[in-house]
Chains A and B, each alone.
Chain A
Amino acid sequence: MTDGPRYVEFHACSAFSFLMGASIPEEYAGRMVELGIPALALLDTGGVYGAPRFHMAARKAGVRAHIGAEVPTVDGCRYPLIARTRQGYQNLCRLITRTKLRAPKGEGAATTEEIAEFASGLICLTGAADGPLAQALPQGQGRECLDRLIRAFGKENVYVELQRNRQRASEAHNQAALELARSCDVPYLATNGVRHARPEQRRLLDVLTCIRHKTKIAEAGKLLARNAEQHLKSPEEMAELFYDLPRALEETVALSAEIDFTLSDLGYEFPRYPVPAGETMASFLRKRTDEGARRRYQPYHERAQRQIEHELNLIEKLELPGYFLIVWDIVEFCRREGILVQGRGSAANSAVCYSLGITAVDPVGMDLLFERFLSEERGEWPDIDLDLPSGDKRERVIQHVYEKYGRLGAAMTANVITYRGRSAAREVGKVLGFDEQETARLSSLVRGWEWHDPSDDNARKFREAGLDIHDPRIRHYFELFNQIQDLPRHLGQHSGGMVICQGQLDAVVPLEPASMPGRVVVQWDKEDCADMGVIKVDLLGLGMMAVIEEALVLIPKHYGVSVDLAHLPQDDPKVYRTLQKADTIGMFQVESRAQMATLPRMHPENFYDLVVEVALIRPGPIVGKMVHPYLKRRRGLEPVTCLHESLEPVLRRTLGLPLFQEQLLKMAMIAAGFTGGQAEELRRAMGFKRSEKRMAEVEINLRAGMTAKGITGETQEAIVRSITSFALYGFPESHAASFALLAYASAYLKCHYIAAFTAAILNNQPMGFYHPATLVKDAQHHGLRFLPVDVSASEWECMVVSPEYVRLGFNYVRGMREPVARALVAARQTGAFTSIDDLALRVPELRKDDMRRLAEIGALNSILHQNRRDALWHAELALRPPGPLLEPVAEAGGASPLAPMTLEERMRADYYGTGVNIGAHPMKHLRPRITVKGVLRAVELAGQEDGRWVKVAGSVIVRQRPGTAKGFFFMSMEDETGVANIICTPNLFDRYKSVLLQRSFLLVEGVLQNEMGVVSVKARRVMELAAGSGIPVESHDFH
């Protein structure tokens, strides 16, 4: 390299310039190695979005990453700025934050005064066609421009930028800029204004340009690139371009050597927790932990004391007491505000977290692996995730963190939304000028089915849809569709990840407004934050937490007892009986079809069984083929053996099979001699979205390690298979334990306080696996009775009337808004409504549609004791006040000339108007018409012999085609007695696809599978139950 020309690229934009660059940072790092470029400055527009990924990729590739950004200004220029020092980087982040936070999302421009204000420590290039110099030169103000930059940045930090992209017009600019540089004695350097790593990616750049300008490629004209020259060029190519200006290249190398800032030198510091005088954070943490431990552990036994001491020592050694105190402070805030909170994830491995009340699982009692949470060797921040009730309460906690650490001290992590499947298909199709129909056809080809046939590659899909892949238009589409995959599209907000900082977070990473009002988001996603050592607390909303919280408020009011979540009776027999029967609709984590199919076989008898149950039905154990062997071993049908005798201590508790992520880490440490750090790398690869490559690398190390330890052949294969199959879906034991706690709590509440539980779950929809209609029917099967929506009695929420009765709330009236319902309830406080006119008069917020809907679902019946049709008749008049001419003859109420609704009409009106039906199940009405055909009720299936040919009918409540089921399609059908599970083979699914996916009521014939209390029908024939068509029953579909 020393013999040939040397060059550093100082102006490259990646795909993180959102639609202005066509390569991801990793592609640049790879290409730099191929071309022999030792360093590159990534200058994305308006941010440092791609900087962490580039920094990490460059470090791995052995090249240097300079960090900067193109900062847009109000006069339409873009200033290429590069961080020379840490202060420069901090200034860049602050400058960008200031411009972003005052502008709508995705916009923001600085003034020239602001550029000068934040110039310290930054290097400024004069830019290309959209740079400040190019704008000034044609007006004869080049010199003034350069002087202004020198005044702001200092002479040693301003470089005249020359780009030679083989464009005729740019050379005149170059000559003028060069002359100016020489006359002002300012150094000049060469860049290539890079927008993509390879020349062929110019086409993709053109497509992105069209998307940005919302135009078609045939109409984009001069918006498109003039040629394909803005790719990363080798030093040789650059030397040829600048054959007459060798200094332009030499300067790049010299400047690169001068820059000492890298992202490793971020200067991030987690906030210090303010402690009372005379205390240190460590001593304060010790006291709080001790207090908590004495409350939690009764008695505070020696094992717990030892564990806590060990943890505290490590926490102090790693200087993490502040972090634990800050999380404890959030938890305390929740407690003061009466907000239910529970830590999940690896934090549940820590006895300190348990003592501080952050988590609810006792890791000592459960023998959980603390090192999974925190290890000295990893040198990484621990990860604490807090589950909060979804909705307003979680928002209150988030706002509390903002208030406590300041708007510039805390922010949400970003979520980079990328082009995938359908969105890619639609956008590329539109740009290439396919009409709407063709675009729809093309995007339907990449329908978001979870499951993908291994042979189902894109080319085959195109062929099947009658599209010729050799047609140039289709070929371009196909190529571009593949190229655009996974390219960043825009920045979203992560569901709950918050980062906080001592001092100002905007000096660490630029902040932006999120689309949600009141939220601020950083420019990095959670992986980037972890890579950069920026600590994050996940504040996640969990529907079931909200349900439990609400139920705990309702129980004392209506049952006269108080329930403490932390002290629920352990091993309640009714709970376990219910779980064993798989009677689990509405229960957290154990209500899915697959969970229900496993519960009777698993036969959980204690809490740990529930932990295993939660972790077992996951893609990891399913793909790794652990489920059936585990269940067989549990029933003693298969001997308990280990993959290797050395792994016996790790796998003993799970009958010789790895089910949890911790076990896989320990396996890697024992079998392949991995260090804690390597095991952590393995874990990161497992949980990492963009991880296939990383997993492959880890696998090589894993095999080498095992071979060195003498584990070879089939045993090695089996161990590798069990580890890699967990790649994306590993479930940590601590996490499973936290979830199992909630599962147990939800089961307990449902079993003992069904009215409170049902009202709470109906008030927190959408959540879980089932539609509210199914939850209502299930509660009715358990003896709960429902009262309809009634303007004289209902509240906005569903409410418990007594332990036997729940009344539906206005939140179930389709289209009704909360303020209207609240106004209605408020008006009712002053006296009952005497007529529909009275209602219309006193609640003017009620719109025409609300009034009609209320009449239709019978919510007005209580006024004047009329039927729904009478109410409709009078409501219609109330909505149109009569003019003075007709006033004397206006009717006052009472019976109408309309016929009352039939039973079927009432049922349709209920489903349509509220989405639920509290009367008889539609199948009860249809039953007389189908029993002659020999159709069984769902409840009768369990009494039939395995292998018998049966017919069953019902409304479809869940459709599912999971990625792990090899194309099998599962469906739950509900009738008036319960739920029947249907299994369809891939062939049958293809044959009856439209009926299965589009019809609400089905009749299925097939072979009954009845084994160990798990009952399902393997479908052979499917047909629509025509009598049920038109009843607007909704289902939850997961396909």
Chain B
Amino acid sequence: MFAAVSVPDLDPDGYPELVACAADFSPVVEESSTDTIVFPVHGMNKLYASVEALAQAIADRVAEVMAGFHVALAESVEIALAAVRGLPGITVIPHGEEERILGPIPLEVMAIALFGPEVPIAEMLVTLESWGVRTCAQLAALPPLGVLERLGPDGLRMQQISRGIADRPFRPAAPPPEYHERTELEYPVALMEPLLFVIADHLNRMCGRLNQQSMATHHVDLVLGLEGKPEHARAYDLPVPMRDSRAFLKLIHLDLESHPPAAPVTFVDTRLIAVKPRVVQNGLFVPQAPEPARLELTLARIAKVVGENRAGSPRLVNTHRPDAFTLSRLAEAAPSMPCAEVMATRLFRPPLAARVDLEDNRPSRIATRGIRGAVVERAGPWRTAGDWWTESPWAREEWDIALATGALYRIYRDEIAGGWFVEGEYD
């Protein structure tokens, strides 16, 4: 005998609680859909006065954690599922009574119970509707051969269930392997070395499991419980899936040196996300690239020195805004393009604020730190403006100027904020 419990409109967070309720009655549960479970209750009736009492006990247990549920007990999985979907409250279907009890259930409801909410037999339901066949009883009354000929195996299955004939086996849910380790420390640890010792132990065990299951990881979460302070959580993304525990440890070591915990650590919680490892065969004549793990470590070391988000590969942004670029991870950087020989410009970062005198709206003198003098020649203005639809539009007027010293500069006026700047010097 099987029990089915359904909670229409169940919050996804409530599903584990529903499964937990079933665990009080059975070690195995079938997770039939996002709001329904089925579990075997063979022999349980010996613990209760009757099957009805068992059903009531299940209902009482579920009622402790949620409301608005239905319970159905039947000899087979599908009958229990159809009943829990189509009949409200608690239903017990004794053997031999299936056809009578399921009779009034609308076929649409039964179809959802059997095939899930994305009913793949919508066309069949339309046909049944055009036949005026809307309930299980009406379907059960049709000749099975006629149904098979017209509606195929799915139709026959629906009809057999309507007649109380069902033989689908129970499909228990198997828990996915967990990559999670947690250690409550005996006393708060304030030093890095003992802490790394614990983390190394976690990583070794989990990487061992990854190895056994031919898996790898591209994401590690580390949570450190702190004495009297909120938890210290760090997350590590890797460019390629790996399972080298030493590399992970070094990465975490470098990171914790940059971001040390603010108080002694009381527990260590480590979790990996398992993914399939990447298998790449390098070309025979392709230069050997650095090993991904080593490259990641090197970048982590650089980032520790220059600061986060300041290391990577520059990438041009698709905009007219001058000197606009972003930094991307080195591994993702696009190959550099060959470029023609052009005059080099040395840009001042940030640009130098300058005082510029104008004559006939053209620069005539400039003065800023280290650059001063009359403008002897000029070209411009070049105008660029953009991002007008955002809250930070920009617009500028550029000039190229030559001073008496022979030096060539690119200067610009910020037309939004005002003010002149020297942007760079031509070689």
Q: Which residues of A contact B (CB under 8 A)?
A: 166-168, 171, 203, 206, 217-219, 221-222, 224, 226-229, 432, 472-473, 476, 852, 855-856, 869, 872-873, 876-877, 880, 882, 886, 889-891, 897-899, 901, 905, 909
Contact = CB atoms under 8 A, between A and B. Distances in A.
Contact of B150 (A203, A217, A432, A876): A876
Contact of B143 (A217, A886, A897, A901): A897
B327 interface: no
B345 to A, nearest CB: 12
B427 interface: no
Given A872-B130, A899-B132, A166 B382 contact: yes
14 contacts: A166-B382, A217-B389, A218-B390, A222-B318, A224-B320, A228-B383, A855-B130, A869-B132, A872-B131, A873-B146, A876-B151, A889-B145, A898-B131, A901-B132
Contacts of B145: 886, 889
Contact of A227 (B132, B149, B384, B389): B384
A889 to B, nearest CB: 7
B141 interface: yes
A229 B385 CA distance: 10
B220 interface: no
Interface string B127-144: 100111100000001110
Interface in B383-410: 383-386, 388-391, 395, 398
Nearest to A891: B146
A877 B317 CA distance: 63
Pairs of residues from A and B, 9 with the lowest C-beta to C-beta distance, nearest first: A221-B318, A166-B383, A876-B150, A227-B383, A168-B382, A226-B320, A898-B131, A227-B385, A221-B319
A472 B150 CA distance: 61
B379 A898 contact: no
A645 to B, nearest CB: 62
A852 B132 contact: no
B381 interface: yes
Contacts of A872: 127, 130-131
Contacts of B381: 166
Among A203, A227, A472, which residue has the most Cβ atoms of chain B within 10 A?
A: A227
Nearest to A878: B150
Given A869-B132, A889-B145, A897-B146, 20 more contacts: A167-B383, A168-B382, A168-B398, A171-B379, A203-B389, A217-B389, A221-B319, A222-B318, A226-B320, A226-B384, A227-B385, A227-B395, A229-B383, A873-B146, A877-B150, A880-B149, A880-B152, A882-B149, A886-B149, A899-B132
Main SS class of interface, B: mixed
B130 A856 contact: yes
Contacts of A222: 318-320
Given A168-B398, A432-B389, A897-B142, A873 B383 contact: no
A219 B319 CA distance: 9
Among A218, A432, A882, A898, which residue has the most Cβ atoms of chain B within 10 A?
A: A898
Contacts of A224: 320, 386
Interface string B26-49: 000000000000000000000000
A898 B382 contact: no
A208 to B, nearest CB: 14
Given A222-B319, A880-B150, A898-B132, A472 B391 contact: yes
Interface in B152-172: 152
Nearest to B410: A168
Contacts of A891: 146
B318 A898 contact: no
Interface in B209-240: none
Contacts of B319: 221-222
A814 to B, nearest CB: 13
Nearest to A868: B130
Interface residues of B, number: 31
Given A227-B383, A899-B132, A852 B127 contact: yes
B215 to A, nearest CB: 37
A612 to B, nearest CB: 52
A229 B389 CA distance: 18
Nearest to B141: A897
A476 B393 CA distance: 13
Interface in B302-336: 317-320
Contacts of A166: 381-383
B383 A898 contact: no
Interface in B275-327: 317-320
B210 to A, nearest CB: 39
Interface in B230-276: none
Contacts of A898: 131-133, 142
A877 B389 contact: no
A874 to B, nearest CB: 9
Among B131, B390, B398, which residue has the most Cβ atoms of chain A within 10 A?
A: B131
Given A171-B379, A877-B150, A880-B149, A228 B131 contact: no
Contacts of A869: 131-132
Contacts of A856: 130
A561 to B, nearest CB: 45
Nearest to B322: A168
A891 B317 CA distance: 71
Nearest to B126: A852
B140 to A, nearest CB: 11
B76 to A, nearest CB: 26
Nearest to B360: A240
Nearest to A226: B320
Nearest to A899: B132
A856 B129 CA distance: 11
Nearest to B398: A168
B334 to A, nearest CB: 15
A959 to B, nearest CB: 30
Nearest to A432: B389
B146 A905 contact: no
Nearest to A240: B361
Contacts of A889: 145
Interface string B177-218: 000000000000000000000000000000000000000000
A173 to B, nearest CB: 14
Among A217, A876, A886, which residue has the most Cβ atoms of chain B within 10 A?
A: A876
A219 B387 CA distance: 11
A426 B323 CA distance: 34
Contacts of B131: 869, 872-873, 898
Contacts of B143: 897
Given A171-B379, A222-B318, A472-B391, A228 B385 contact: yes
A221 B318 CA distance: 5
A898 B128 CA distance: 10
Contacts of A886: 145, 149
B341 to A, nearest CB: 14
A106 to B, nearest CB: 26
A907 to B, nearest CB: 14
A825 B319 CA distance: 65
A222 B390 CA distance: 16
Given A166-B382, A432-B389, A852-B127, A905 B149 contact: no
B425 to A, nearest CB: 17
B382 A476 contact: no
Contacts of A219: 318
Nearest to B321: A221
Contacts of A880: 149-150, 152
Contacts of B320: 221-222, 224, 226
A168 B142 CA distance: 82
A901 B150 CA distance: 19
A444 B319 CA distance: 33
A898 B127 CA distance: 12
B383 A905 contact: no
B339 to A, nearest CB: 14
Nearest to B361: A240
A734 to B, nearest CB: 53
B119 to A, nearest CB: 19
A911 to B, nearest CB: 14
A882 B148 CA distance: 10
